[in-house]
Amino acid sequence: MTLRVRWGTVAIAAVPLTALVLFFVYPVVGMLARGLWPDGSLDLGAVTEVLGRPRTHRVLWFTVWSAGVATLVSVLAGLPVAFVLHRLRFPGRDLLRALVVVPFVLPTVVVGVAFRQLIAPSGPLGSLGLDGTATAIVAALVFFNISVVVRTVGAFWEAIDTRREEAAAVLGASPWQVFRTVTLPALVPGIVSAASVVFLFCATSFGVVLTMGGLRYSNVETEIYLLTTQELDLTGAAALSILQLVVITALLVLAARVRRSPGPVDRTTKRLPRPRLRQLPVLLWAGLVIVFLMAPLASLLSASLRQGDTWGLDNYRALGTTGAHNALLVPATTGLANSLQIAMVATVIALVLGSCVAFLVSRPGGGRPMGVLDGVFMLPLGVSAVTVGFGFLITLDKPPLDLRESALLIPIAQAMVALPLVVRTLAPVLRSVDDRQRQAAASLGAGPLRVLLTVDVPVAWRALIAAAGFAFAVSLGEFGATSFLARDDNPTLPVVIYRLIGHPGAENFGMAMAASVVLAATTAVVMFAVQRLRVASVGAF
Amino acid sequence: MSGLDVRDLTVRFGATAAVDHVDLAVPAGSVVAVLGPSGCGKSTLLRAVAGLEVPASGTVSYDGQDLAGTPTHRRGFALMFQDGQLFEHLDVAANIAYPLRLRRRSRADQRARARELLALVGLEGYADRLPATLSGGERQRVALARALAVEPRLLLLDEPLSALDRGLRERLAGELHDILRAAGATAMLVTHDHDEAFAVADRMAVMREGRIVQAGTLEEVWSRPVDGWTAAFLGYATVLTGDRAARLRELVAPGEPWESVALRRSALRVDPTGPLTARVEEARVTPDQIRLQLDVDGAGSLPGVADPGSDVRVGARVRVSIDTSRIALIPSDLSGVEP
């Protein structure tokens, strides 16, 4: 019996592990090998030389500084929003919950463009003189990551038994004392978990820093990109990639240590309270943060509706063309169709692999091996998408694995990016199933498959659909890896947007804005549908 | 008046009134139990008194002062939840000292008071334990000590013993009674368990579907349940009405105006000199007595008892007497009538 279960476990683990090795480890190692064995022999002197460069130090410092500040601001800005969206009841709350997640799944390119649109000298906030500053980069990183804090801490906040806070209040604690002595200690694991993930995202952020940093600011990720594509210094790129990998592995281990899933939410407790007047400061704070989140989107929308001095839908009509001066090889609408199709395939792949991983890591008594498995599948979150994308290019273009012509190349790359998010959505829900229910079912004569179908699936199907929607939205917006792999005659929508911005002309810019709005709206609709499923673990870490 | 005074209180959840025009008094120094089945609104009443629910109408006042504008944490009450709601990240001493810390008492004060309270609830030496390491009964004692720490002017107890198993519940109920008296506490207890109410309180109010149907001392409520439903809820085994009650009329208080009669299980006893006759339908031996089901002539099937060792067989005809201290007369039975 035990032996059979073990074999089953190995079989289920084999599928995602094989995929991870082939489509993540192999490309990344290939990419690193190219840099470390430039002439067929290991050259570690070059690595230490790269790490000793003053420019490398500057890049490292900026990476740590920008990620640290952005993490701190994200947490401070996200906490009140988490409270308002997860502990109060008011009309439109579900819509707001979905809108808050939209920045996270937006293509980084769109985020960069939306921010530039807002703070460019000609934009609504041009007078602040933020264009091209480090402050603007941090603001964009915060914009991108607030939802991680809101979702993660919000899930913890929802799980707190309100009677514990009431117990404190009845014992004489003022609302602030209740927060400090009861609520905050219960939120700390969620805050630490969210902060470590946000730091990870900020430190490996690519699209935002690339579009907003210009030549003045560069983090490790964009530096790898510049070294690889502009200076062809593969040794330098490999050295930085290794450094990044080491730091990120350490961070993931740390995050796994502190990660604790919020307790089960008691769905039978009474309805959440409505906002009260004395909560006005928190409400205002949350309102300001939401305005901050919506402003770039609104600015994007208004730019997409303007052509010169007139308003209209011309930019949207232009999406059926290849742009001014034929900036594109195919109409933008083809890019949208491609994106949808690719995202669909990527979702299926991520869902199959993610379900296997989530199933395994959520079995009780898995112990250390399962903890490691859990952590290994988080790696794609933190490894440079540039390294992955470029690694795909140089390793998957020749036997034994030649996928250059395969329609699956981009979906596979995107699936690897979405995989950790699928696992993070599914595993907590599966873990919440009391193992005694499985034992009860087994004792009544249910085989392993029937236990799965009658105990796990009824609990997990919502999470499964939610994870699918989330993976779909993330795939739609994926840019880092896709930008290396998409060909100009078959681009995805984010790639189309990047191309359009790179070409001169107001028409192309207008088209880029319209395409960004279409992309943002599509992801928003998907996320709203996901939101309706009420799975707390979506977008939480 | 001194103490808690609830007047005409109504709490609504949407269209339903969970608490419906309730009047209740808890005089200073007394322990009042609100007894009712789950869903009757007793916990909502307690929460409204604590300031955790906003009433739709009516007043909650203490020592004559209306508490409508006073937030929960300024009412000077303490609430003990059914499952204790200990703060898991604090040890036992820190949990108990929590309300003292809020009031910025000195550390020495906090330690001394925590020790004193641990002794009161019988948990000396538990100061450094974490709540997760405690048993259910120990957790409830810690929760009680925490609630008593600042000598609240009113202690609110929400099913304090219901989460515990039977033996522990019975023992703790007695201890709770003694601890509350020793602390001189004014307390309001809500429970669905009549044994708990009788063991802990000196007055009780029976609540049903949002309304208080009867209130008084334990003795008053117990000996004169207001209707059949209340009698059944208080633990009477049977309520007889109509013709079946009439057969008993000449035997118990024929002159008084009553329509129904509630009998405890031991009200009918096999007695060779008894006035009633019956046939034994069932007999089951328990350590204290023999429990019977009797078909009483003229009154139908009723529970009864016989002394251990007496020779009763199923099918045998026996004579039966009524112990009038184990019955209650009910003036008019409204149990079937919806309010």
Give the H/E segment covering residue B205. strand B203-208
| CB contact (8 A) between residue A171 and residue B87 | no
Is there a contact between A164 and B89 if contact means CB atoms under 8 Å apart? no
If you measure CA to CA, which chain A residue comes closest to B103? A172
Considering only CB atoms, A164 lies closest to which of B77, B87, B101, namely B87
Q: Which residue of A has its CA nearest to B154?
A: A170
Inform me whether the C-beta atom of residue A163 falls under 8 Å from chain B C-beta atoms.
yes
Q: Which residue of A has its CA nearest to B153?
A: A171
- Whether A268 shows a pLDDT value over 60: the answer reads no
Strands A397-398 and A401-402: antiparallel
User: How far is C-alpha B323 from the chain's CA centre?
Assistant: 25
pLDDT tops 50 at residue A510:
yes
The pLDDT value given to residue A28: 85
Domains and CATH numbers, chain B: 3-230 (3.40.50.300), 236-329 (2.40.50.140)
In a mutational test of the A interface, the residue from B72, B88, B101 whose CB has the highest number of chain A CBs within 10 Å is B72
**Tell me, what amino acid is at A105?**
V
Say yes or no to pLDDT of A2 above 70: no
Identify the residue with better confidence: B143 or B165. B143
A181 to B147: CB separation less than 8 angstroms, yes or no: no
Beta bridge partners, B290, equal B285, B306
Confidence band for B148, pLDDT divided at 50, 70 and 90: confident
Spatial distance between the Cα atoms of A133 and A149, rounded to a whole number of angstroms: 25
Distance from C-alpha of A393 to C-alpha of A387, rounded to nearest angstrom: 10
Residue B215 confidence class, pLDDT cut points 50, 70, 90: very high
Give the whole-angstrom CA distance, residue B19 versus residue B45.
Answer: 6
Q: Which fold has domain A2-532?
A: MetI-like fold (1.10.3720)
Which of A163, A171, A178 is nearest residue B99 as measured by Cβ atoms?
A: A171
Share of chain B above pLDDT 70, in %: 97
**Residue B114 CB burial class (10 angstroms; 0-12, 13-18, ≥19):** buried
Instruction: Give the C-alpha distances (Å, rounded to integers) separating A140 from A97, A112, A146, A540, B316.
Output: 19, 7, 10, 20, 91
Pick from B13, B73, B76: which is nearest to A173 by CB?
A: B73
pLDDT at A109 over 80: no
- Chain-chain contact of A169 with B72 (C-beta, under 8 angstroms): yes
The C-alpha atoms of residue A29 and residue A228 are separated, in whole angstroms, by 15
The reported pLDDT for the residue numbered A89 is 86
Q: Which range, A49-63, A217-231, A353-367, B207-221, has the best average confidence (pLDDT)?
A: B207-221
* Chain segment A439-466, per-residue pLDDT in tens: 777 777 777 788 888 888 888 888 888 8
Q: Minimal Cα–Cα distance from A175 to chain B, Å?
A: 8
Residue type, A457: V
Q: Which carries the bigger pLDDT value, residue A193 or residue A348?
A: A348
ipTM above 0.90? no
For the beta sheet containing B57-62, the strands, ordered from the edge strand earlier in sequence to the opposite edge, are B16-27, B3-13, B57-62, B65-66
With contact defined as beta carbons under 8 Å apart, do B144 and B175 qualify? no
More confident residue, A489 or B5: B5
Q: In which band, very low, low, confident or very high, does the pLDDT at B2 lie, cut at 50, 70 and 90?
A: confident
- The answer to whether B123 and B148 have CB atoms below 8 angstroms apart is no
Q: Can you tell me whether residue A268 is helix, strand or coil?
A: coil
- Angle at which helices A493-502 and A108-119 cross, to 10°: 40
Provide the shortest C-alpha distance from residue B73 to chain A (in Å): 4
The residue type found at A263 is: G
**Per-residue confidence at B339, pLDDT binned at 50, 70, 90?**
very low
Query: Does the pLDDT value for residue A418 go beyond 50?
Result: yes
- Residues B99, A181: C-beta atoms closer than 8 Å: no
- State the Cα–Cα distance between residues A65 and B47, nearest whole angstrom: 49
Q: Where are the alpha helices (DSSP H) in B149-223?
A: 166-182, 194-200, 218-223
Average pLDDT over residues B11-34: 92
Average pLDDT across chain A, whole number: 82
DSSP state of A336: H
- Token digits for A69? 């500040």
Residues of A in contact with B73 (CB under 8 A): 169-175, 177-178
- Three-state DSSP class for B65? strand
Nearest C-alpha neighbor of A477 from the set A463, A504, A498? A498
Q: Are B98 and A168 a contacting pair at CB < 8 A? A: yes
3-state DSSP call for residue B4?
A: strand
> What's the CA gap between A454 and A440, in Å, rounded?
11
d(CA B303, CA A197): 68
Residue ranges of alpha helices (H) inside B224-328 are 228-233, 242-249
